[in-house]
Structure 1
Amino acid sequence: MLVLTVGGAAVASLVDGLAGLWGALLGASVGGGFILCTAVAVLLTARLPAMTAGAVLLGSWLLKMILAITVLAILDPLDFYNRQAMVIVIVLSLVIVLGAETYGVLKTKVPYVSPTESDEDSGTAQ
């Protein structure tokens, strides 16, 4: 995320000056806020039953959407930032995080064990 923030800020600054810098920094903070909220929700629900954890994660997703709409509504009338830079950095941050999570899930080694019938249960004697 730090690389995206620095890189996005540098490119946006070159393209649109101070407005581009502010747009990239705002985009990084909104995208980082999404990531941070997700990480906190996962950590808080790690020891809860699956149904409860799912409900809390779904509720946190809804809360994130409400917060994102509120932040964007507050920023809408302001003109000190470049909107394109902000949107590009938000989208890139979310794509990077989704890619990292997908990679992590695909590379996780989960043991797969099928229960077999023991000799005692099958009725065979040795």
Structure 2
Amino acid sequence: MSDTTPTTSEAPAPPAAPVTLRELFAQILRRMLVATVAITLVGAVVGRFLSDPGSSGVWGALIGGGIGLLFCGATVVSMALGEGRSPQFLAVVVLGGWLAKMVVIIVVLVILRDLTFYDKYVLAGTLGAIVVASLAIEVLAIRSARIPIVDVPEGGAPRD
């Protein structure tokens, strides 16, 4: 007649939230790579049809995607390198990485300034979209992580 056994949901379980910083940084890098590739492909397709000489938009999107991946990925990698180390080491890595990125972007922009094989607007649009997506990925990953922010000593009572 009727079956009284409970049925289980066939839906897959949601992915577990990261519980360590290493897992968090790995998750952010994976999501950032997927988003960067997707945005670069969309930028290349849109740039192909919107730019005057067709392939200049594709080149703009590819350059923007490369710069975006390099810069946004370098931030996460520098944080991963500083994980578990002293605050001074983390500060040196993050600030040194930021300074190196600024030097690299200035050099790249100076090199690209007079070249005409790419569309500057497609490059800027692709890069801007990647930066916004990267920021959203980082914020959402950090908000959903289950990483304790307070270390409780062995006795269980907080220190003064």
| TM-score, length basis structure 2 | 0.66
Distance across 2 between alignment mates of 1:80 and 1:59? 32
Identity of aligned residues (%): 31
Partner of 1:43: 80
Distance across 1 between alignment mates of 2:149 and 2:115? 54
Deviations 1:62-88 (A, max 9, x none): 110110111011000101110000001
Structure 1 unaligned regions, length at least 5: 118-126
Structure 2 residue 44 is the aligned partner of structure 1 residue 9? yes
Shift of 1:40: 2.6
Distance across 1 between alignment mates of 2:96 and 2:149? 31
Q: CA RMSD in A?
A: 1.9
Aligned pairs, how many? 117
Distance across 2 between alignment mates of 1:30 and 1:61? 14
Deviations 1:30-86 (A, max 9, x none): 111102322332232223212211221111011101101110110001011100000
Shift of 1:23: 0.6
Pick from 145, 155, 158 the counterpart of residue 108 of structure 1: 145
Pick from 101, 105, 115 the counterpart of residue 78 of structure 1: 115
Distance change >3 Å, CA 110–CA 32, structure 1 → 2: closer
Partner of 1:68: 105
* More helix as a share of residues: 1
Distance across 2 between alignment mates of 1:14 and 1:49? 50
Structure 2 unaligned regions, length at least 5: 1-35
